[in-house]
Chain A
Amino acid sequence: MITKRIIPCLDVKDGKVVKGVNFDGLRDVASPVSLAQMYSDGGADELVFYDITASAEGRNLFTDVLCEVARSVFIPLTVGGGIRSTADFERVLSCGADKVSVNSGAIGNPAIVGEAAKKYGDQCVVISVDVRRVNGQFHVFAKGGRVDTGLDAIEWIKRCVGDGAGEVVVNSMDTDGVKKGFDIELLKKVCDTVKVPVIASGGAGCQQDFVDLFKQIPDIDAGLAASVFHFGEIKISDLKQTLYENGINVRR
């Protein structure tokens, strides 16, 4: 049967990986190419790159970096950040991205999901959602989590999948950065609602958090994290071994 995926996420600004990264033996810790290579060698099932650059020059640096990553790493690549039009899809797909993740771009212009799905196929369109509880309800936040849109997260995800999104990344702002585990309540709700792959994000602090995620939500497809991998707190090869020992089907 299909395996559960482990996905490291890299934020890239002006062509360099941001967030402190600390690894023995890695000369350029900010190089997306050497990091991608290291994760791929360690058994990462997929890589997500978020372009957090604001300037046009930075965007060009990002696509250069992406091309270089795609020339050296042969696992699926998902790209997000600043995706607002099908022209943005085109820009990153021609550099070797396999999937494109839209977040605020879809909130501002919901038609982009359907347009892109028609043009590039459902499998190519990932809807990424930042979610936080507001008065007991799950709200969608935009602009990197700064703006409460007031949208109900479950309804929003349902709508995007209905429009053709082939995969959903659910980032819980309530658990993000806390390192006490994934947001099981929210993720269960999403998995019960849509029939496309769901990727959990936000909250991973240790290997057991991934075990709990896959044990408690058998329908979840993947676990995504950034800092625990970047800081070397969790080695992907160790995590895969732990998951395997806990009876979770992973690629090793």
Chain B
Amino acid sequence: MIAVIDYGVGNLFSIKSSFARIGVDAVVTADKKIIQNADRIMLPGVGAFEDAAKKLQQSGMADLLREEVKKGKCLMGICLGMQLLFEKSYEYGEHEGLGILKGEVVPMKGYVDKNLKVPHIGWNGLHFERESRLLKDCKEGDCVYFVHSYFATNCKDSVIATTEYSRPITAAVEKDNVFGCQFHPEKSGEVGLNVLRAFCQAK
């Protein structure tokens, strides 16, 4: 069973539906017992970093996630959920993340070509940085769906794929039992469902 963390951020309907589609039992929950008993944990997220990070801290969810990861449980973050895995973010100020992965989150404005539109919305291709379990069923150039204005950087030890937006943008990360993708696998058609399947199989 997969526990999809419900901390009042974002719409979880599609994530739940995509797990149902691949035949995986997923429970949307904020219950710590259920999360501790789950086989894997998914951290979703849409919205602002500061608000989400605060909610995770105040509810005690941040400590719980770090403990579960330490015990070896597989954790995957999606979009803002992936950004939260890093040490800090510079989204409207400077905010602490979960610190599970090394790296930080910075605004695209100032880093990408100033003629490009931000947020980066739409289907963009994956470029592999190294072999991984999460993207084992994806091909170089496969398109996935992105919606974001910030991206993870200084994360050489976890980045497994980037996407091109006038410069390489971190698209997916993997380090031991921790996984993440900036794109939305639940909105990326068959390619996305394969990423979720791979997460569910990862050991």
Q: Which residues of A contact B (CB under 8 A)?
A: 1-3, 5, 40, 45, 67, 70-72, 74-76, 93-96, 98, 121-123, 166-167, 195-197, 221-222, 251
Contacts and interface: CB of A to CB of B under 8 A. Distances in A.
B178 to A, nearest CB: 24
A197 to B, nearest CB: 6
24 contacts: A1-B164, A1-B165, A2-B146, A3-B123, A5-B122, A5-B123, A40-B189, A45-B122, A72-B17, A72-B21, A74-B14, A74-B17, A74-B189, A74-B190, A74-B192, A75-B189, A76-B145, A93-B11, A96-B11, A96-B13, A98-B187, A121-B46, A123-B119, A195-B118
Given A2-B120, A74-B193, 6 more contacts: A2-B122, A2-B123, A121-B46, A166-B119, A221-B122, A222-B122
A119 to B, nearest CB: 10
Contacts of B124: 1-3
Interface residues of B, number: 31
The secondary-structure label for the interface of chain A is loop
B18 A74 contact: yes
B47 interface: yes
B117 interface: yes
Contact of A96 (B17, B123, B146): B17
Residue picked from A67, A70, A95, A251, most chain B C-beta under 10 Å = A251
Nearest to B190: A74
A93 B193 CA distance: 21
Most buried by B among A5, A45, A74, A98: A74
